[in-house]
Amino acid sequence: MTDAAGSLKQAMTTIEGAIGAALVDYNSGMALATLDGPGGLDLNVAAAGNTDVVRAKMRTMDMLGLSDGIEDILITLTSQYHLIRPLTHISGKGLFLYLALDKGRANLAMARHQLTRIEADLEV
């Protein structure tokens, strides 16, 4: 098991193209831990903004009567990928991992796979 800081460090060092990572509480919109890289992202702003994305998707799923869980949410920009992964284990309820990637250097499939492994090892 790895703590939040260790998990973000693992994401930034093992996922090719990672430019920023955060663990976010989507009830408050606050970043509980952040680790930025060469992207220069304001991860606190990203945490608050992506909280709105998660809440909107959960509301929409509720209105549609969908009982599925969200595995991840992908936002594709011209030069970046932004991955949002709500934590699924009980202790992580209300939290999500956020990962920003340089689109030119990242392998999206591998990044999703590695983020799933990092989530499984995360202890909150």
Residue 90 pLDDT more than 70? no
- Alpha-carbon distance of 62 to 11, in angstroms, equals 31
What pLDDT does residue 89 have?
75
Residue 110 pLDDT more than 80? yes
CB contact at 8 A, 61 and 75: no
Token pair of 103, please? 């689109």
Give me the chain's average pLDDT, please.
Answer: 92
pLDDT tier, 92 (very low <50, low <70, confident <90, very high otherwise): low
Report the b/e string of 81-104 with b at 16+ CB within 10 A: bbbbbbbeeeebeebbbbbbbbee
23-81 residue pLDDT tens: 999 999 999 999 998 768 999 999 999 999 999 999 999 999 998 889 999 999 999 99
Sign of CA dihedral 107, 44, 8, 27: negative
